[in-house]
A and B are shown apart, each in its own frame.
Chain A
Amino acid sequence: MSAPFRTLAADILEATGINAATCYQCGKCSAGCPMAFESDLRPHTMMRLVVQDRREAALAEESIWLCLTCETCSARCPNACDPARVIDALREMSIEAGVADMPRNVAAFHRAFLEQIRTNGRLHEMGMVMEYKLRSGDLIKDVTNAPGMLSRGKLSFRAERIEGVAEIKRIFEKCGVTL
């Protein structure tokens, strides 16, 4: 947890080892970002928030949840500012601070996914999709695809639970995952 007088940039530096000041706002990351089209903020503007120590704006920003983690920005950044990693850290911090503004479906997906792993150790896709629908309220999602998936043997009704599932629960605890 960061003390109130610490800058956001200092927190990011500690969490990731990245010096946000190396970003000179050239925009190459955002030029190649596949989600720029539909998000308010883009990788370089998110870096700007860090440099300007605009903590609330950064952590409560919805755009950080629209990031695909495709790593295109980090691959092309001339200064190795690794925006993908910085945005990862912003997400983690925003959950910790309790201000995460995840679009409803994205939140539902992450929660359903992680819950599945915590319970079974492996992802039971059908179980996850069910939980996702309940959480997101998007009940008819992919309903038309279900028969096709079933007939192609892609859906299993039974979840695979690993033997070491207690270890997985412990991992979640030790990492302090609250999502």
Chain B
Amino acid sequence: MSRVGVFVCHCGENIARTVDCEAVVEALKDHPGVAFAEDYKYMCSDPGQQLVKKAIEENDLTGVVVAACSPHMHEKTFRRACDQAGLNQYMCEMANVREHCSWIHEDRGEATAKAIDITRTIVEKVKHNKPLESIRIPVTKRALVIGGGIAGIQAALDIADGGHEVVLVEKEASIGGHMSQLSETFPTLDCSQCILTPRMVEAYQHPNIKLHTWSEVEKVDGYIGNFNVTIRKKARSVNEDLCNGCGDCQAACPAKRIPSEFEAGLGKRTAIYVPFPQAVPNIPVLDRQNCTLFKGRRKGLAKDVCGKCQEVCLKGAVDYDTEDTFIEEEIGAIVVATGFQLYNIGREQPEGLKGYGEYGYGEVPDVIDGLQFERLASASGPTDGAILRPSDGKEPKTVVFVHCVGSRDPEKGISYCSKICCMYNAKHAMLYKHKVHDGRAVAFYMDIRAGGKGYDEFSRRAIEEDGAEYIRGRVSRIFRDGDVVKVWGYDTLSGEQVVIDADMVVLATAMRPQDGVRELAQKLSVSTDEHGFINEAHPKLRPVETNTAGVFVAGACQAPRDIPEAVAMASATGAKVMSLFSADELEREPAVAIVNENTCIGCMNCAKVCAYGAIEQREICTVDGHVCGHVAYVNPGVCQGCGTCQAVCLSKSVELQTFTDEQIFSEINALCYWE
């Protein structure tokens, strides 16, 4: 015999203003199976929860229905209260009379009638609830960090220092990310590589960190605590165990004019190369696309036309016949830290973006972007730190910095603000003035976004101490006119058109997620937003988690971020991972599907529709071990409780716990039967 307790919450005015809570209690207190009914102002408060506990004890309740807000809010709260009072927590359900009723209707009479219907329906459901137990699954205490930029490195170090193994996967030949390309960082003007490389080395040498560079994540199976990850180690053509980093191969390589990705296209590299001198690991990679020998092989030449690097290698580390290899790793938690790329203003654009025809589609010489300026300013860059313009190597005497190129431009496809550009533009103006004392730095801006610690003071320094000219207005056109680059802008503060004959123009282009992130997100079953940024679970309260349990996110792959934020997020994911690894077992909600093997006919329709790959075929054997049939089996660790299998089962053998057919039909009956 059911003895259900009904608790109707006022939620202050949120529910009570539109729904007559006393009337709901009145309607339900005599409903068959209801042993107790009361209303209260704030059910989720301590006294409210006490009310529930007391009612359970005093009335021997077998089930609890709390008519209040959405289960997303407080289902855990009330279930915990029931558990503390000795009632199995899965005998407790919530009837949503707030989001589904009081918040969306105005007529009190109608809303109250609806609230009564909703509550009654859930009461009928609860009569069919079963006392379930949480599922326990083991946890593999190893983490995977995807991306070896500052965020990935920080996350890896935090988890490794916490005593757990980390597999760090980086798609480039070296870790370090974009931070390794910067010359100095705001607001301290610290040399970027000087503060980064110690971390890089630490990550490389850490006994708990397994580093795979020139590698990508190929496949991810499994679920929180129990992922199976396949990593593709791309063919490096250099044996990492034999190479000692001497650099002779690089010196001998005849292909010297390949645009260097690290130098943002402003410098050249060889085909076999280490991206930069402080690269970690200091092991070169052979770019087979541009290598003379491999070009020959692709043409089908019988004999290899080059082999210089292999010849000069004293360690015999160069091997042209290596292939991509695959490594399987068992992982418990994954951190995504793939970072960003810069938007480019060219003609060719991915879907949803447009290029800047009015700025010349990236084809105007001496119009560069922020990363390229960093390479010019960097002491290890293509100009040894001198600010020289790419077209003729002359020192530019007038440099125009343009803010918001791509960012805050819905017409071009990017409506968001890239956050870091105001700061790095101020930095660039300062670096330029420090190096070219008689130079003129002009910045066209819309607003100055300098919200971090010491940031506003830093940006003011550029104007007040270093003499940068800040003009408020966006630029209409940029084009080449003989020896100068003409910039047509506007000063909205003084109300005049401004035309500048610049020697060089630096565009602050928008931060975008890396290419290939959407595909990676699919592999991890996490979602991305319309721009390709990874979606966090909740923008305010769960910024480093995703909606997929066990997958966390840090840094610029989630949204435009500066370095302190990326590091903070990375350490936050470290804490989340450590907390995940702190127990040997994970508790999972028992809202999973279960197959009745006695009635299952083995048609495997359920497996065909399961989006999570949670259903396997199990063989039924006779006593002497002969296979006489098969049935379906749902892996309780992988099942996400969507219920699709239940809908397609021909023999009605699969039941989703907490949403069985019986429970659902009883709700429908309740709606139809009672007035």
- B497 adjacent to A30 (CB under 8 Å): yes
Distance between Cα atoms of A32 and B476 in the complex (Å): 5
- B495 adjacent to A31 (CB under 8 Å): no
Closest to B496 in A: A36
**Interfacial chain A residues near B477, Cβ < 8 Å:** 31-32
Distance between Cα atoms of A138 and B285 in the complex (Å): 77
**Interfacial chain B residues near A79, Cβ < 8 Å:** 409-411
**Interfacial chain B residues near A76, Cβ < 8 Å:** 358, 476
Interface residue ranges of B631-660 to A (CB < 8 Å): none
- A27 adjacent to B358 (CB under 8 Å): no
Distance between Cα atoms of A72 and B476 in the complex (Å): 9
A156 sits at the interface (CB 8 A): no
Interface residue ranges of B475-534 to A (CB < 8 Å): 475-477, 488-492, 495, 497-498
Distance between Cα atoms of A72 and B497 in the complex (Å): 15
Contact of A45 among B408, B446, B491, B495 (CB under 8 A): B495
A52 sits at the interface (CB 8 A): no
**Interfacial chain B residues near A25, Cβ < 8 Å:** 492
Interface residue ranges of A64-107 to B (CB < 8 Å): 72, 76-80
The verdict on A78 contacting B476 (CB below 8 Å), with A25-B492, A31-B489, A37-B497 known, is no
A171 sits at the interface (CB 8 A): no
The verdict on A26 contacting B410 (CB below 8 Å), with A31-B488, A31-B490 known, is no
Closest to A75 in B: B358
B412 sits at the interface (CB 8 A): yes
Distance between Cα atoms of A3 and B358 in the complex (Å): 41
- A31 adjacent to B410 (CB under 8 Å): no
Closest to B408 in A: A78
Distance between Cα atoms of A25 and B491 in the complex (Å): 11
A44 sits at the interface (CB 8 A): yes
Distance between Cα atoms of A33 and B404 in the complex (Å): 20
Distance between Cα atoms of A44 and B477 in the complex (Å): 17
**Interfacial chain A residues near B433, Cβ < 8 Å:** none
- B476 adjacent to A80 (CB under 8 Å): no
**Interfacial chain A residues near B412, Cβ < 8 Å:** 78
A24 sits at the interface (CB 8 A): yes
Distance between Cα atoms of A29 and B404 in the complex (Å): 15
B470 to chain A, nearest CB (A): 13
**Interfacial chain B residues near A42, Cβ < 8 Å:** 490, 495
B473 sits at the interface (CB 8 A): yes
The verdict on A28 contacting B411 (CB below 8 Å), with A36-B497, A37-B497, A45-B495 known, is no
Residue from the set A28, A36, A45, A79 with the largest chain B CB neighbour count within 10 Å: A28
The verdict on A27 contacting B474 (CB below 8 Å), with A36-B497, A44-B492, A45-B495 known, is yes
The verdict on A77 contacting B475 (CB below 8 Å), with A26-B446, A30-B497 known, is no
- A26 adjacent to B497 (CB under 8 Å): no
Q: How large is the interface on B (under 10, 10 to 19, 20 to 34, 35 or more residues)?
A: 20 to 34
B472 sits at the interface (CB 8 A): yes
Closest to A32 in B: B476
Closest to A25 in B: B492
- A31 adjacent to B411 (CB under 8 Å): no
**Interfacial chain B residues near A29, Cβ < 8 Å:** 476
Residue from the set A25, A27, A42, A76 with the largest chain B CB neighbour count within 10 Å: A27
A174 to chain B, nearest CB (A): 36
Q: How large is the interface on A (under 10, 10 to 19, 20 to 34, 35 or more residues)?
A: 20 to 34
Q: Could you mark each residue 1-36 of chain A with 1 if its beta carbon is under 8 Å from any beta carbon of chain B, else 0?
A: 000000000000000000000001111111111001
B137 to chain A, nearest CB (A): 50
A80 to chain B, nearest CB (A): 5
Distance between Cα atoms of A29 and B476 in the complex (Å): 7
Distance between Cα atoms of A29 and B473 in the complex (Å): 10
- B473 adjacent to A31 (CB under 8 Å): yes
Distance between Cα atoms of A36 and B491 in the complex (Å): 12
**Interfacial chain A residues near B495, Cβ < 8 Å:** 42, 45
The verdict on A28 contacting B497 (CB below 8 Å), with A78-B408, A78-B410 known, is no
**Interfacial chain B residues near A32, Cβ < 8 Å:** 358, 476-477, 488
A138 to chain B, nearest CB (A): 29
**Interfacial chain A residues near B489, Cβ < 8 Å:** 27, 31
**Interfacial chain B residues near A24, Cβ < 8 Å:** 408, 446
Closest to A80 in B: B411
Closest to A36 in B: B497
A58 to chain B, nearest CB (A): 17
Distance between Cα atoms of A33 and B323 in the complex (Å): 58
Contact of B474 among A28, A36, A37, A72 (CB under 8 A): A28
Closest to A45 in B: B495
- B410 adjacent to A28 (CB under 8 Å): no
- B411 adjacent to A78 (CB under 8 Å): yes
- A28 adjacent to B476 (CB under 8 Å): yes
**Interfacial chain B residues near A36, Cβ < 8 Å:** 490, 497
Distance between Cα atoms of A153 and B492 in the complex (Å): 48
**Interfacial chain A residues near B472, Cβ < 8 Å:** 27
Q: Could you mark each residue 517-560 of chain B with 1 if its beta carbon is under 8 Å from any beta carbon of chain A, else 0?
A: 00000000000000000000000000000000000000000000
The verdict on A28 contacting B408 (CB below 8 Å), with A36-B497, A37-B497 known, is no
Interface residue ranges of B389-440 to A (CB < 8 Å): 404, 408-412
Closest to B407 in A: A78
- A31 adjacent to B409 (CB under 8 Å): no
Q: Could you mark each residue 444-478 of chain B with 1 if its beta carbon is under 8 Å from any beta carbon of chain A, else 0?
A: 00100000000000000000000000001111110
21 contacts between A and B (CB under 8 A): A25-B492, A26-B404, A26-B446, A27-B474, A27-B489, A28-B475, A30-B473, A30-B490, A30-B497, A31-B473, A31-B474, A31-B477, A31-B498, A32-B358, A36-B497, A42-B490, A44-B492, A45-B495, A78-B409, A79-B409, A80-B411
Other A-B contacts than A31-B473, A76-B358, 8 sampled, CB-CB below 8 A, are A27-B472, A27-B490, A31-B490, A44-B490, A44-B492, A45-B495, A78-B410, A78-B411
B-to-A contact residues, CB < 8 Å: 358, 404, 408-412, 446, 472-477, 488-492, 495, 497-498
**Which 7 A-B pairs have CB atoms at the shortest separation, nearest pair first?**
A32-B476, A27-B473, A31-B476, A28-B474, A31-B490, A27-B490, A78-B409
